[in-house]
Amino acid sequence: MAVRLEHPFSTEKPIDEVYAAILDLERLVPCVQGASVLEKTGPESVKAQIDIKMGAMSMIFAGTVEIVEQDPEVHRMIISVKSKEQGGSGYANAEVAFSLTDGGGTVNTNAQITGKAASMGEGVVHGVLDALIKDFSSKLATL
């Protein structure tokens, strides 16, 4: 199942400060509710996991988060997330693009979900991801 979401966010912090904070994955990943960094694996990558609840099911996804593209001149970066459901056969992968402007920016998420999470139905998956990213977007202002 593919899900595409776009969320704007606002901040009073300077654009260069927000850009640097987003590139710091050890600070960024915990801004996602239920997510944590397990270890830093390189200058632009970490192993991470997220505990997520979809309907009556709780799942844990673990994998990698990596900065795959960055352009400091236009304050844009793309982060790749590749994760597998622990104890299951599903996965949740995403490409998250950040486009910053003075006073905020936009988070564009393209996710692919399979397994038990996808079996919950498009409405549930979309609702859970939308709530997670809205919460995450609001936390970007405080990084």
Q: Is residue 117 over pLDDT 90?
A: no
More confident residue, 117 or 50: 50
Paired residues of 76 in beta bridges: 71, 99
Task: Centre a 10 Å sphere on the Cβ of residue 122 and count the other Cβ atoms it contains.
Answer: 12
Q: What percent of the residues of the chain are helix, what percent strand, and what percent coil, each to the nearest 5?
A: 25, 50, 20
Kindly report, residue by residue over 5-57, the tens digit of the pLDDT: 999 999 999 999 999 999 999 999 999 999 999 999 999 999 999 999 887 88
Gyration radius of the chain's alpha carbons: 15
Q: Is residue 137 over pLDDT 90?
A: no
- CB-CB contact of 125 with 61 (8 Å): no
CA distance 104 to 97: 14
Class of domain 2-140: alpha beta
**Which of 9-23, 40-54, 79-93, 117-131 shows the lowest mean pLDDT across its residues?**
117-131
pTM of the model: 0.92
Q: Domains of the chain: which residue ranges?
A: 2-140
Mean pLDDT value across residues 79-104: 95
